[in-house]
Amino acid sequence: MPQVAALPSFGIVCSAGKPGQKGKKTAPETKRGDDSMGFSGGRKEIWRCVENCGACCKLAKGPAFATPEEIFTDPTDIELYRNLIGPDGWCIHYEKTTRTCSVYSDRPYFCRVEPDVFNKLYGIQNRKFNKEACSCCRDTIKAVYGPHSQELYHFNRSIKDSSSK
């Protein structure tokens, strides 16, 4: 597992829609088959968080992304989420020098990339979790670091490599 502690607040970036709601989610960059694993160029992808990323800990990414109000139904979650946003848009618990989370073991549930969280927030079925998690990471990394960034290259390579180990 990566040492990076920055698991997402994917709410603002996930391409999947919230149940019964049309949010301002980003669309996946490329179309993939309706499989649970995720494929790219014929190679199976297995989601994993990678070191030295932390893109999902930038919580304010601009108007193209869904707001906390569009993601959460619980006002407590909205308040918690908004309270995490620092003046520069990054989470106040994000350690920029190490690209890690300073409260990793106690991070909010919505920072956890897990099937149950995706199901709760976006209505994503467990069998589609892997594909959606990969898509969410790509969209997030592109938005924060750019479509030609080393971070995106590293992520894409990591999820492909992991499938062949």
Residues that bind ligand SF4 (CB under 6 A): 4, 6-9, 49-50, 53-57, 84, 91, 93-94, 101, 103, 107, 111, 113, 137, 140-141, 155
We find the least distance from the C-beta atom of residue 7 to ligand SF4, in angstroms, to be 5
We find the least distance from the C-beta atom of residue 65 to ligand SF4, in angstroms, to be 13
Which C-beta is closer to ligand SF4: that of 18 or that of 144?
A: 144
Which C-beta is closer to ligand SF4: that of 37 or that of 103?
A: 103
Helix (H) / strand (E) element for 76: namely: helix 75-84
Which C-beta is closer to ligand SF4: that of 23 or that of 152?
A: 152
HEC readout, 123-160: CCCHHHHHHHHHHHHHHHHHHHHCCCCHHHHHHHHHHH
We find the least distance from the C-beta atom of residue 131 to ligand SF4, in angstroms, to be 14
CA dist 74 and 135 (Å) reads: 25
Which C-beta is closer to ligand SF4: that of 55 or that of 71?
A: 55
User: For the chain, percent helix, then strand, then coil, each to nearest 5?
Assistant: 40, 5, 50
